């Protein structure tokens, strides 16, 4: 596709109609963008086609779930077969046992599992469970980390710097109007990748903190890998102070390794939550953890419920997806890292040739591009200092080139991407940066 603006006639008409009936014209704030949002007609493999017939190499992948690409036949077949047998039961079924068994085999922390529908629910369940297990009220979270849109954790995800407080002792900043601000009383906020700051906060609040919750690779604020030894240090501090360590692996789970970031980084939490990639695009999430902790649910001491938990069609998709990821791990994961490294190298080279200051960093199966002169981004404060408006502009330029990435600069790779996709994408980035 050339640098000319892509046709959007049908999309404009749809968005005009949507604004009359959908609040903000979209169904999630993450899709609220300047101008007309992308209206997708269909998807297959590494590609999207919009309602105007434009084709895109897709690196959004539904915000990460389509790890096998869009509409992988084994997953589609599993969904179709289960839908023909029954869509919802409000009863147990064989596939949920099979998926739970596979999760326990794949994920280091998983001795027991419970299913939910979306990641926010699973996080909420994990926090309740941690409070029930420890008898403590508070949770420690990190600035820049996102754990869903529920009130108790929607603090200081991307706060304005004039409200965020000092870097070593950040202040909780609510994420939305209408938030129940009383929940901040049970929240302790810390800077990430700073063991000294965490040590001080735990020494001060430790007897009240039920859990330390984090994204083990920070993906909602860049794609930031923890400093060497940092997660090991956090694990030791949690053990010392008797609080649980919770990994939010909604994004990293099954994307960076069959057992998630905890396998890749060799640190095992007490509880972990999963979603997105585990079902290839269907809405299912999971809470997994040590049996001693999870058995508070078994005993009925901590409540956990939901009409759509272990939804048969979603679980069928999870069974197919996880089977492929598990059985073909030696082919899929090295390939994801290889493709990611090739694309990162190509984007770096294109930016250097164009004379545009850009940092490209991340594990590979997902990575982040930043407009910045910094040589590292370690936490939210570093991320906030990058040119985020420029990254949103690049997103628009790349759409005109037939490439779709997450507007904040995050890129996801799938097993369906090809070497040709990478070459075409690097060429599109080069053309976009020539317009910078």
**C-alpha of 341 from chain center:** 19
Q: Does 276 qualify as catalytic in the annotation?
A: yes
Which among 316, 340, 105, 127 has a CA at the least distance from the CA of 217? 340
Which among 396, 404, 408, 383 has a CA at the least distance from the CA of 436? 396
Contacts of residue 17, defined as CB under 8 A and 6 or more positions apart, other chains included, come to: none
Q: CB–CB of 413/340 below 8 Å?
A: yes
Which among 348, 424, 358 has a CA at the least distance from the CA of 390? 358
Q: CB–CB of 127/141 below 8 Å?
A: no
Per annotation, catalytic residue among 58, 248, 382, 421: 248
Label residues 247-279 b or e (16+ Cβ within 10 Å = b).
bbbbbbbbbbbbbbbbbbbebbbbbbbbbbbbb
Sign of torsion, CA 277 193 364 38?
positive
Per annotation, catalytic residue among 146, 155, 230, 370: 146
Per annotation, catalytic residue among 194, 276, 382, 421: 276
Q: Does 5 qualify as catalytic in the annotation?
A: no
Q: Does 146 qualify as catalytic in the annotation?
A: yes
In this structure, what are the phi and psi dihedrals at residue 193, rounded to the nearest 5 degrees?
65, 25
Task: Give the pair of three-digit tokens for residue 136.
Answer: 């403590």
Give ∠ CA 17-19-20 in degrees, rounded to 5: 70
Q: CB–CB of 271/287 below 8 Å?
A: yes
- Write out the catalytic residue numbers: 146, 248, 276
């Amino acid at each position: 596709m050339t640098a000319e603006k892509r046709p959007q006639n049908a999309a404009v008409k749809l968005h005009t109609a949507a604004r009359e009936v959908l609040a903000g014209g979209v169904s999630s704030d993450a899709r609220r963008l300047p101008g007309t949002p992308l209206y997708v007609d269909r998807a297959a493999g590494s590609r999207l086609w919009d309602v105007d017939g434009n084709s895109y190499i897709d690196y959004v992948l539904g915000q990460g779930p389509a790890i096998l690409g869009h509409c992988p036949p084994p997953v589609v077949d599993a969904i179709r077969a289960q839908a023909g047998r029954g869509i919802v039961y409000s009863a147990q079924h064989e596939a949920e046992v099979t998926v739970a068994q596979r999760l326990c085999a794949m994920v280091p922390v998983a001795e027991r599992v419970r299913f939910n529908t979306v990641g926010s629910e699973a996080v909420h369940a994990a926090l309740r469970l941690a409070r029930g297990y420890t008898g403590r009220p508070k949770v420690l979270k990190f600035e820049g980390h996102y754990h869903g849109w529920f009130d108790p954790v929607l603090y200081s995800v991307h706060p304005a710097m004039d409200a965020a407080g000092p870097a070593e002792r950040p202040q909780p900043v609510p994420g939305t109007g209408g938030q129940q601000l009383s929940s901040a009383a049970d929240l302790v906020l810390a800077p990430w990748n700073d063991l000294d700051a965490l040590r001080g906060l735990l020494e001060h609040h430790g007897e009240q903190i039920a859990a330390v919750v984090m994204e083990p690779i920070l993906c909602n604020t860049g794609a930031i890998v923890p400093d060497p030894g940092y997660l090991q240090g956090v694990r030791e501090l949690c053990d010392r102070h008797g609080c649980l360590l919770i990994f939010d692996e909604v994004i990293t789970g099954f994307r960076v390794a069959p057992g998630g970031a905890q396998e890749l980084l060799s640190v095992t939490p007490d509880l972990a939550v999963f979603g997105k990639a585990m079902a290839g695009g269907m809405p299912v999430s999971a809470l997994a953890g040590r049996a001693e902790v999870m058995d508070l649910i078994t005993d009925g001491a901590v409540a956990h419920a939901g009409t759509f938990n272990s939804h048969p069609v979603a679980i069928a998709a999870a069974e197919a997806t996880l089977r492929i990821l598990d059985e073909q791990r030696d082919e899929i994961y090295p390939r994801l890292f290889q493709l990611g490294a090739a694309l990162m190298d190509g984007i770096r080279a294109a930016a250097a040739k164009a004379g545009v200051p850009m940092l490209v960093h991340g594990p590979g199966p997902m990575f982040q591009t930043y407009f910045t002169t910094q040589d590292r981004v370690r936490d939210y404060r570093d991320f906030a200092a990058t040119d985020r408006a420029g990254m949103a502009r690049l997103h628009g330029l790349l759409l005109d080139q037939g490439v779709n990435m997450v507007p904040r600069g995050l890129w996801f790779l799938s097993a369906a991407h090809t070497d040709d996709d990478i070459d075409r994408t690097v060429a599109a980035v080069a053309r976009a940066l020539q317009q910078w």
